[in-house]
Structure 1
Amino acid sequence: MLVIAFVLTAVTLAFLAPRSPPAWLSFADAVSGGGGGTERLAEGLPFGSHGQKLDVWAPAGASKSARPVLIWWHGGGWVKGDRAAYAFAARAFARAGYVVVVPDYRKVPQVRFPAFIEDGAEAVAWTERSIRRYGGDPARIAFAGHSAGAHTAVLLALDPRWLRAAGANPANVKAAIGLSGPYDFYPFDKKRSIDAMSAWPRPHETQPVHYARADAPPLLLVTSTRDETVRPKNAINLAARMREVGGLVELRNYEGLDHEEVVMALSKPFRGKGPVFADSLAFLRTAGLAPPPVR
């Protein structure tokens, strides 16, 4: 009972503090023990050509071999969000045995598509060059993200030209997880997608659904029945297209969860909302990205 009271007090204080919802979630996750067994090995490391920064998380303790790497892109409708606020997601995967890279990216209105995709590709290139020093294997990389971050993760996995342009090798990408992401949303009918995408002269290039291919990395596409921010049709349509072309894809449509609850379920306090984290780990293992044990 004391532990529960402590967590509830921490969450209340976080709500009162000037934090974004993901930031208070990371705070609640930390005080409830979600950070146990993990380390933030680097904070605010510069990468890329536009002043972007990233954090690196890993399990606490050495392993006999290099660990698979997961790059996590946060959501925020291309207009908000930052890497530090999503520490709860980084810690979850780090505790499971992965080296986790969490990059920032430029946002609307300062930039439009494809700037944030280019930033994502530069994060991948940095990871390939630099992750060995943090115990990661640059030849075994998975992408993951929520909402706008899922759009980046899945588009980079499906359309390899962005990675090649940044000097990254698409062959190193072994899997991608998209949580509540937009993949088939043209014509643009919401302010955020209009602001982020409509200036690009070839709108089909903004849509991951157009790049489904048989030789793409395996995809896990997660949506939920109560998501009114990014409609489930995005994941459903992309999954159907992947199957049509012979690609490897898993689709999860969680009953009763909304847009935010899907990503909340990665955190320790709210993991009971749905098996998002367990399903993500199972998918990564099936894709050949099982991590080595911690010594």
Structure 2
Amino acid sequence: MRFTFVIFVLLLVGCSSKKIKDVSYIRASNSAISDTPRMNVFVPRNTKAKPQPVLIFVHGGNWNSGRKGTYDLLGRNFAKKGVVTIIPDYTLSPDADYDAMTKQIAAVIQWAKDSVSKYKGNPNEIFITGHSAGGHLGALAVMNPKYGIDSAAISGIILNDAAGLDMKHYLQENPPTATDDYLTTWTKQPDNWQQASPIYFVDKNTPPFLIYVGDKTYTSIKIANNRFVDALHPYQPNVTPIHLNKKHVPMVGGH
């Protein structure tokens, strides 16, 4: 599959990189958040005229923690391999629920489609990845049509020990409380839980997936990933999760 080929062949090449800090992706007039989140863009330093692939990395943190600056090394490493890498902040719970967060990630994707060519990126070769909650938000922004992203415009989605792929199933068994701000993040409404779950939006137009799962990760993540792969297989029968002998947090470091 070309998707997998692109990701791993990129590891064979290298160059230096530069960081463009705190790029705006949301118009302040369109946001209810006074301190609008921004993103860092990591750009390969090379003389190639050909536009480079684009990777959007969404950080995790249980939907209520995390920041883009933690992942500068990841951004620089991908850029050195010839990938324009975008790492956004997004408004965290309890100042936003999952829907507001996902709208922001969709805005990042739209920004990439409209503007990444200014940074040597190819707007027709955009990949989405995320760890934990970030995997959920990235997948949901692409897969749930309410967020306005043309799934055909996304070259692939890479899940790194993603949480939240079937929040309806999880929250039916573990109703949200104030712990970890889950009541704010998910609300009490089962209809919202389904809208928040990428598994319910798998179809023939879903972009190709590459899925990593930690052998020592949380049971809830293993269950949700298994359910998601089962739902995906009628459309992408060759997808097999790649298992790494890691706990949840170290998974963000990859191999």
TM-score normalised per structure 2: 0.81
After TM superposition, where is structure 1 displaced by more than 6 Å over at least 4 residues in a row? Answer: none
Deviations 1:217-256 (CA, angstroms, capped at 9, x unpaired) = 001121112112752122121111100344663411223x
Structure 1 distance, partners of 2:249, 2:157, is 20
* Other-structure match for 2:25: 47
Computed over aligned residues only, the root mean square deviation of the Cα atoms, in angstroms, reads 2.1
1:101 to 2:86 alignment: yes
Structure 1 distance, partners of 2:238, 2:195, is 21
In structure 2, relative to structure 1, the CA distance for the partners of 1:151 and 1:208 (3 Å cut) is same
Give, in angstroms, the shift of residue 118 of structure 1: 0.3
In structure 2, relative to structure 1, the CA distance for the partners of 1:227 and 1:194 (3 Å cut) is farther
| Structure 2 letter corresponding to 1:69 | V
1:181 alignment partner, SS class? coil
1:38 to 2:17 alignment: yes
1:142 alignment partner, SS class? strand
Contact 1:153–1:177 under 8 Å retained in 2: no
Give, in angstroms, the shift of residue 133 of structure 1: 0.7
1:66 to 2:55 alignment: no
5+ residue gaps, structure 1: 1-34, 266-274, 276-295
Structure 1 distance, partners of 2:238, 2:189, is 29
Give, in angstroms, the shift of residue 120 of structure 1: 0.3
Give, in angstroms, the shift of residue 123 of structure 1: 0.7
* Other-structure match for 2:3: none
* Other-structure match for 1:287: none
* Other-structure match for 1:125: 110
5+ residue gaps, structure 2: 1-13
In structure 2, relative to structure 1, the CA distance for the partners of 1:70 and 1:200 (3 Å cut) is farther
* Other-structure match for 2:152: 171
Structure 2 distance, partners of 1:177, 1:55, is 19
Identity of aligned pairs, percent?
A: 22
Contact 1:83–1:102 under 8 Å retained in 2: yes
Deviates more, 1:221-230 or 1:144-153: 221-230
Contact 2:151–2:207 under 8 Å retained in 1: no
Contact 1:218–1:248 under 8 Å retained in 2: no
* Other-structure match for 1:231: 221
| Structure 1 letter corresponding to 2:129 | A
* Other-structure match for 1:16: none
Question: 2:187 aligned to 175, 186, 198, which one?
Answer: 198
| Structure 1 letter corresponding to 2:143 | L
In structure 2, relative to structure 1, the CA distance for the partners of 1:82 and 1:198 (3 Å cut) is same
Structure 2 distance, partners of 1:216, 1:184, is 16
Question: 2:70 aligned to 80, 85, 103, which one?
Answer: 85
| Structure 1 letter corresponding to 2:50 | S
1:113 to 2:95 alignment: no
Give, in angstroms, the shift of residue 195 of structure 1: 3.7
Question: 2:241 aligned to 251, 254, 261, which one?
Answer: 251
Structure 2 distance, partners of 1:248, 1:139, is 24
Contact 1:112–1:199 under 8 Å retained in 2: no
Contact 1:44–1:54 under 8 Å retained in 2: yes
Contact 1:43–1:56 under 8 Å retained in 2: yes
Contact 1:212–1:247 under 8 Å retained in 2: no
* Other-structure match for 2:146: 161
